[in-house]
Amino acid sequence: MSRLQDKVCIITGAASGIGRGTAELFAEHGAALVLVDRNEPGLNEVCALLSGQGAPVVGVCGDVSQAATIQRAVATALERFGRIDVVFNNAGIMPHGDLMAVSEETWDEVMAVNVKAMFLMCQAVIPHMLKQGRGSIINTSSVMATLTEPGYDAYTTSKAAIIGLTKSIAVTYAEQNVRCNCICPGWVDTPLNRALAEEMGGVDKLYPIIKKQQPSGRMASTREIGYVVLFLASDEASAVTGSVVYADGGCSASI
């Protein structure tokens, strides 16, 4: 079943992790893809993989916090495929540091990549979605928007802001059939978390923490998160807008 057949989808942060897993799933379901990331080797790799499998895909390399990158991505989608049906705003960064130690530059970078980039993308694509009479935007927030731990002040603040932006867009454009939702993943098996595990001495050192925080006792796969995004992107979710969907293995339900 092709749940996104002939739909044109922009995915940011597509070179690895949730973005790449979702891109692969979208391609399987018939989407035409514009993939955006600043990691050029990783971006080229996923584009080559999906193109080799017959998917219509094009990559745009750049920093999503810069308006020029967003404009190139939107222009590429329109020139190559003629429309924009779905946007998955997924790119993000997660620096660690106590509030008193976080520099102004780091704070600004987190807000720019995690929040401003989504604002810029939404501002750029919504006019085209309004002309089409429909569109779906999905933003990646985090369970850490509402449940956090020391050392992630900038990250938590940015992810909470994404929920507010999502709800505001959803309410503003609900009557025009432009939907906006966000996902809140918990622990996911991404290169970022694998690197964290290596810093701690291996995955075995990380799993006790995951088991304590996430009742499922394991990290979700990027494909599992991708299926949540796939639903929100598809016409099956036509009544869903302004929602915050937790895909966190029960983390947000636990005490």
Please identify every residue annotated as catalytic: 155
Residues whose CB falls within 8 Å of the CB of residue 186, separated by 6 or more in sequence, listed in order = 143, 213, 214, 220, 246, 247, 248, 249, 251, 252
DSSP assignment of 135-204 equals EEEEEE--GGGTS--TTBHHHHHHHHHHHHHHHHHHHHHGGGTEEEEEEEE-SB--HHHHHHHHHTTSHH
Maximum C-alpha span of the chain: 52
Nearest partner of 47 among 76, 70, 75, judged by Cα = 76
- Please tell me the total number of residues recorded for the chain in this structure: 255
For 6, residues 6+ apart whose C-beta sits below 8 A from its C-beta are 30, 32
Residue 128 to residue 10: CA distance in whole angstroms? 13
